[in-house]
Amino acid sequence: MSVNAQDTADKVALITGAAVRLGAATARHLHTHGWSILVHCRQSREKAEELAAELNVHRANSCHVLQADLANDDDMTWLAQESRHVWGRVDALINNASSFYPTPVGSITSHDWNDLFSSNARAPLFLAQALAPELKSRQGAIINLIDIHAERPLSQHTVYCMAKAALAMQTQSLAKELAPDIRVNGVAPGAILWPGSGNITQEQQEEILAGIPLQRRGTPDDIARTIRFLLEEAPYITGQIIAVDGGRSL
């Protein structure tokens, strides 16, 4: 795809892990509201290209795919550089990419540790660092997708919960360090989409829903709307983590 920086004056959001699930929903929602979207993917290139084609039908040259492994330092450096070059600007970094799977004590490996911390804490930090000068020049924003389990641990997911807790602290710390030019906030989804790969049974789903005051799951658009609120309508909010969980964390 040929991309020319003069083709658009829209604000640009880089969304990691944007080919599917919450990332894709966020891409569609922001795109509907005028943003140009950089869709990052690691393995889901086909899905990412399908999403880009869908969005470009609605508005030509408004979505572009960038494939990179966030566990690879060279790939992360390339992603930060290339994201600036596509349309000549980046106004928002949305750290959505995340590995998620159980790690029962007794089975935890160094690979589990490296993988879960890499996607959920390390990559968001180094992408934020690499894009900080660009975001500062745009008075931009960073949104981190955290998890209500950063505060309330999920059974047999110790490493994942630790990584998300690190991301929560990172959000608050960067909000102080990057102010006043860059706002940094987090969104902590509750029960929005069930994990894939049979990670949760029907009985477990019903138990979770029974503990939610609103007695239902949220939708991916609930997350996307909260992200857009933080980007567009909250100029005096930074360092905050909004739980979008139907009251589950109460």
Beta bridge partners of 67: 41
Count CB neighbours of 244 within 10 A: 20
Active-site option among 89, 160, 166, 175: 160
In this structure, are residues 80 and 28 in contact, taking their beta carbons and an 8 Å threshold? no
H-only helix segments in 72-212: 73-87, 110-117, 123-138, 158-178, 202-210
- Positive or negative, the CA dihedral 215, 221, 224, 228 is negative
In this structure, are residues 37 and 27 in contact, taking their beta carbons and an 8 Å threshold? yes
Sheet strands side by side (includes 241-244): 63-67, 36-41, 12-15, 92-95, 141-145, 183-189, 241-244
| Location of structure tokens 């609120």 | 229
DSSP 155: T
Helix/strand/coil percent split, the chain, to 5 = 50, 15, 40
Does the annotation count 160 as an active-site position?
A: yes
Q: Which residues contact 5 (CB under 8 A, 6 or more apart)?
A: 86, 87, 88, 89
Structure tokens at 19: 């080919």
Catalytic residue numbers, as ranges: 160
